[in-house]
């Protein structure tokens, strides 16, 4: 039987040395603040993962962890300085902030060529001089205004005969011909100048396009190089009192929280998950982001191209949307929903609701209407398709090109559901 020779420990160490140099590097910081009953937390971060939890203490604790599994200890230390999270605060306010985009920090040092200056008119060649005007005919006659005032038409007939007896008519015809020649030459020369301007403009556009491609290529290469070198994971863990209020500006980040109150947030290319939102003054502005809130008391949303917005149980809601997708599991009291939606879902409207007003533009919507109650219903369809699968006793009428649906019989005016759709598809169940 063939025996294998044991591998030398020295040889193993040689092979493992590069891996040892790339062991996980980590930097942790911890800041703690004694705060009043209702402190404000300002969170302004990018390219980070943020976790917020509440506790029964009048303290705010901020723990930041920067880590890397692909960089050497020296490289990681340098990049940790770049990715540093700043934490400042007092008993009333705590601010947590990071660099806008440290991963592309080298953009400011790219020595890209400046765009060329637009050419001046006729940059290629001087505009040709205007041709000289033909000489005016030497006309010698006197117009006697007093005689014209006394004789009127008779004086004009005398003047006409006088002019016909001279070379006036012939000179005017010659002058007219010379003016036509001058006009043709002037237009021809002007057209040459315009073509010269147009050629210069075409050259400028091509030059700018070529140089712009070089600039964007430099930016792309620098971005890819910086991303490959950074590879830093940024985690921010925050513990706050339950009464804390938040001001959030999130970019290219993820935020998870179990509870917040009176939230003001701006999200861009970010993901936000929240279990409970309390208070009467919460507003979230979103662009290209995702959102999930399990329960909210009162909330205003401004959605721009946000494809996944999920709300659980909401008491009062005000939404404006531009081509976003919104789903609501349970709308309890009031809902003002306006804008364009790729998809809008309302799974349930509470029987005790007071006001629902929905205005749709180029949208697709599915609504589950409340049952076994008498409420005032009004819907207007403008260039839209309504699929009605409801037990409501509706009356249909037309106003110009619009189709109007209203409830018949006695209704409760304290509960109103109004729906307006333009170039949309609406499913009512």
97-116: average pLDDT: 51
Instruction: Check residue 132 and give its pLDDT.
Output: 67
pLDDT at 227: 47
- E strands in 74-232: 86-89, 93-97
Give the contacts of 241 (CB within 8 A, at least 6 positions apart). Answer: 35, 37, 38, 39, 54, 55, 56, 57, 58, 59, 60
* pLDDT score at 86: 94
pLDDT for position 167:
60
- The residue assigned the tokens 């790339």 is 22
- Residue 121 is given by DSSP the state T
Give tens-digit pLDDT for 28-70: 999 999 999 889 999 999 999 999 999 999 999 999 999 888 8
- CB-based contact 353:409 (threshold 8 Å): no
Parallel, antiparallel, or unpaired: how do β-strands 425-428 and 355-361 relate? Answer: unpaired
The C-alpha atoms of residue 108 and residue 100 are separated, in whole angstroms, by: 13
| Whether pLDDT at 393 is above 60 | yes
Distance CA 374, CA 254 (A): 44
Question: What pLDDT shows up at residue 23?
Answer: 57
Q: List Cβ<8 Å contacts ≥24 apart for 327-330.
A: none
More confident residue, 194 or 415: 415
Per-residue model confidence (pLDDT) at position 187: 76
pLDDT band per the 50, 70, 90 thresholds, residue 110: very low
More confidently predicted of 288 and 83: 288
Query: Among 275, 296, 286, 292, which Cα is nearest to 53's?
Result: 275
Q: What is the mean pLDDT of residues 76-91?
A: 87
Does residue 373 register a pLDDT over 80? yes
- What pLDDT shows up at residue 211? 58
Instruction: Please classify residue 193 by burial: count the beta carbons closer than 10 Å to its beta carbon, then call 0-12 exposed, 13-18 middle and 19+ buried.
Output: middle
pLDDT over threshold 80, residue 351? yes
User: pLDDT digits over 225-281, tens only?
Assistant: 444 445 788 999 999 999 999 999 999 999 999 999 999 999 999 999 999 999 998
Cβ within 8 Å of residue 141, ≥6 positions away:
159, 162, 163, 166, 168
pLDDT at 119 over 80: no
CA atoms of 405 and 224, how far apart (whole Å): 57
Residues 121-157: pLDDT tens digits?
A: 554 455 556 666 666 555 555 566 666 667 777 777 7
Extents of the domains making up the chain: 23-105+232-266, 145-227, 279-429
Res 168 pLDDT > 90: no
Taking all residues of the chain, what is their mean pLDDT, rounded to a whole number? 80
Asked if 327 and 348 count as a contact pair (C-beta separation under 8 A), the reply is no
For residue 390, which of 401, 375, 402 has the smallest C-alpha distance? 375
Q: What percent of the chain has pLDDT over 70?
A: 69
What would the pLDDT profile of 64-80 be if each residue is shown by its tens digit?
Answer: 999 888 877 888 788 88
Residue 257 and residue 277 in contact, taking contact as beta carbons nearer than 8 Å: no
pTM, entire model? 0.66
Task: Give the mean pLDDT of 83-107.
Answer: 77
CA angle 32, 33, 38 (to 5 degrees): 135
Average pLDDT over residues 333-344: 95
Lowest mean pLDDT segment, chosen from 10-24, 200-214, 295-309: 10-24
Q: What is the percentage of the chain residues whose pLDDT exceeds 90?
A: 46
Please tell me the predicted confidence (pLDDT) of residue 107: 38
The per-residue pLDDT for 406 is: 86
Residue 308 and residue 326 in contact, taking contact as beta carbons nearer than 8 Å: no
pLDDT over threshold 70, residue 384: yes
């Amino acid at each position: 039987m063939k025996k294998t020779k044991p591998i030398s420990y020295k040889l193993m160490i040689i092979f493992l040395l590069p891996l040892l140099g790339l062991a996980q590097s980590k930097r942790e910081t911890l800041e703690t603040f004694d705060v009043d009953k209702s402190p404000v937390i300002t969170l302004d971060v990018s390219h980070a993962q943020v976790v917020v939890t509440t506790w029964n203490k009048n303290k705010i604790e901020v723990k930041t962890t920067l880590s890397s599994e692909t960089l050497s200890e020296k490289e990681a230390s340098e990049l940790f300085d770049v990715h540093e999270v700043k934490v400042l605060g007092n008993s009333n306010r705590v601010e947590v902030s990071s660099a806008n985009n440290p991963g592309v920090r080298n953009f400011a040092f790219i020595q890209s060529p400046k765009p060329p200056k637009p050419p001046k008119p006729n940059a290629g060649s001087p505009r040709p001089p205007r041709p000289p005007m033909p000489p005016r005919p030497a006309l010698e006659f006197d117009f006697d205004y007093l005689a014209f005032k006394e004789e009127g038409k008779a004086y004009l007939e005398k003047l006409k005969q006088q002019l016909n007896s001279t070379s006036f008519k012939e000179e005017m015809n010659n002058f007219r011909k010379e003016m036509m020649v001058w006009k043709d030459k002037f237009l021809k020369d002007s057209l040459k100048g315009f073509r010269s301007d147009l050629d210069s403009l075409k050259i400028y556009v091509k030059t700018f396009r070529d140089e712009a491609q070089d600039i964007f290529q430099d930016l792309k290469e620098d971005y890819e190089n910086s991303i490959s070198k950074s590879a830093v994971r940024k985690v921010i863990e925050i513990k706050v009192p339950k009464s804390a209020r938040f001001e959030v500006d999130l970019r290219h980040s993820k935020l998870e929280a179990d509870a917040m109150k009176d939230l003001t947030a701006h999200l861009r290319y970010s993901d936000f998950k929240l279990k409970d939102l309390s208070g009467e003054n919460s507003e979230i502005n979103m662009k290209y982001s995702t959102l999930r809130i399990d329960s909210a008391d009162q909330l205003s949303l401004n959605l721009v191209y946000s494809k996944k917005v999920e709300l659980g149980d909401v008491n009062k809601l005000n939404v404006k949307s531009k081509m976003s997708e919104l789903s609501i599991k349970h709308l309890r009291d009031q809902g003002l929903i306006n804008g364009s939606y790729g998809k809008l879902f309302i799974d349930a409207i509470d029987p005790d609701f007071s006001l629902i007003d929905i205005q749709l533009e180029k949208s697709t919507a599915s609504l589950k209407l409340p049952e076994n109650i008498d409420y005032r219903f009004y819907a207007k369809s403008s260039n839209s398709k309504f699929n009605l699968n409801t037990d409501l006793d509706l009356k249909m009428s037309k106003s110009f090109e619009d189709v109007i649906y209203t409830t018949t019989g006695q209704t409760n005016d304290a509960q109103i559901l109004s729906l307006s759709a333009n170039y949309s598809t609406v499913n009512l169940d």
